[in-house]
Amino acid sequence: MIRRIARTDRGRKSSKLLKGCTRILPPPVSGKESVEDLVDNTFLAYNSARLREACSLYVEKILRPDVVVGLSFAGALTPAGLGPSVFVPLIEAGFVDWMVTTGANLYHDLHFAFDYPLYMGSHLADDVELHKQDVVRIYDVLLSLTDCLMPTDVRLKEIFMRPEFQKRMGTAELHYYLGKIADQAERKNRKHGVSVLAAAYRARMPIYVSAPGDSSLALNWVESVMLGSELVVDTAIDVNESAAIVWQTKQEGKKAAAILLGGGSPKNFMLQTEPQIQQILKLKGAGFDYFMQVTDARPDTGGLSGATPHEAVSWGKVNPTALSDAVVCYLDTTVALPIIAHYALRKRRARRLRRLYDKRKLYTRKLEQAYRILSAAVRRNHRG
């Protein structure tokens, strides 16, 4: 009798616990479903469920009018064609307000603007033979050394000698000028909407590169310096501008979202804006309000690429009250991102473009002014 009661009590507790859960009983796939129907009705567990949660978070919260959306991406995504297929549509729809990426992604983005082709190949290709034929491989993407990479280098060498590049600047300004050239190339080649740089230029959306010395963009820039160019890329400008974007977002009563595709330096550069505000400048901050990451990196090896939003809370990077609005999806970005973008573009209307490139200097001045006021007050208190 006692045992029967115990089992009954456990059953009642179990029923109460499961009462708020959704039963897993999906409809059969018919082949007539839309992508969003598949996501909503069949992505029910494991990383498919995390992908569904990411789609929902993006559409229902991140794309609200009062949210400023930052997006970082690492890994060779532009060579895989995600520029014209996904990033450009998201930029044009106002679904991204500022970006951080690698110089390599932007270098390869220029191939599309200049109409130098990339090809689908095989990851099983004979690399010795590819080398003999002047073909380079990024897993299963193939590029010609002589018909793609080297012509891009020749054009960059000439570009970096132009008058507008003969000064000290941050990477947002550098990429704005490159975006203008990419936009002109798109028009000339009648290939509208193929370049991330061109789309960002038209939307006046800033793109930062966290490690500007680490790419073929830098190799060509450095060569131009050897030839007399006065271009200096100043990372201090980038650190202050990116922090100012996040700080001003909160000053205006808005929320900040971080979409992180992959990890690496771009991920940290985006998230370090909050420690810059709170830890270094000693200004008031609370961390990002929304966190969405697609990654294949594990958290238990200690690398930043796999670091979770919970860990980021300890650094002040993520608002501790916002963990319910944080999703990590362990998937290849080339699989997840087109689905997320399609889901959002089907369910949300375009947002007003924020044109943060035009506002970045004003925001930086406001950040610097707030820091100077606080520093002066601290000095007065110390003297007192």
User: What's the mean pLDDT when you consider all of the chain?
Assistant: 94
Residue of higher predicted confidence among 317 and 225: 225
Q: Is the pLDDT of residue 6 over 50?
A: no
With 50 as the cut, is the pLDDT of residue 4 above it?
Answer: no
Q: Which amino acid is at 224?
A: S
pLDDT-derived band at 12 (thresholds 50, 70, 90) equals low
Which pLDDT score, from 0 to 100, does residue 3 have?
A: 43
- The closest of 203, 242, 200, 257 to 70, measured between CA atoms, is 257
Residues 352-370: pLDDT tens digits?
999 999 999 999 999 999 9
Sheet with 141-144: list strands edge to edge. Answer: 118-120, 141-144, 135-138
Q: Which of 68-72, 234-238, 320-324 has the lowest mean pLDDT?
A: 320-324
Tell me the pLDDT tens digit for each residue of 139-183.
Answer: 999 999 999 999 999 999 999 999 999 999 999 999 999 999 999
Comparing CA positions, the residue from 307, 239, 302, 299 lying closest to residue 274 is: 239
* Architecture of the structural domain at 33-378: 3-Layer(aba) Sandwich (3.40)
Of 317, 347, 361, 366, the active-site residue reads 317
Domain boundaries, the chain: 33-378
Nearest 5°: phi and psi at 290?
-135, 140
Residue 146 exposed, middle or buried by CB count within 10 Å (0-12, 13-18, 19+):
exposed
Which phi and psi angles does 225 have, rounded to 5°?
Answer: -65, -40
Looking at residue 84, its pLDDT comes to 98
Residue carrying the six token digits 């890994």: 75
Quick one: average pLDDT of 119-128? Answer: 97
> 317 catalytic, yes or no?
yes
Tell me the C-alpha distance between 312 and 323, whole Å.
10
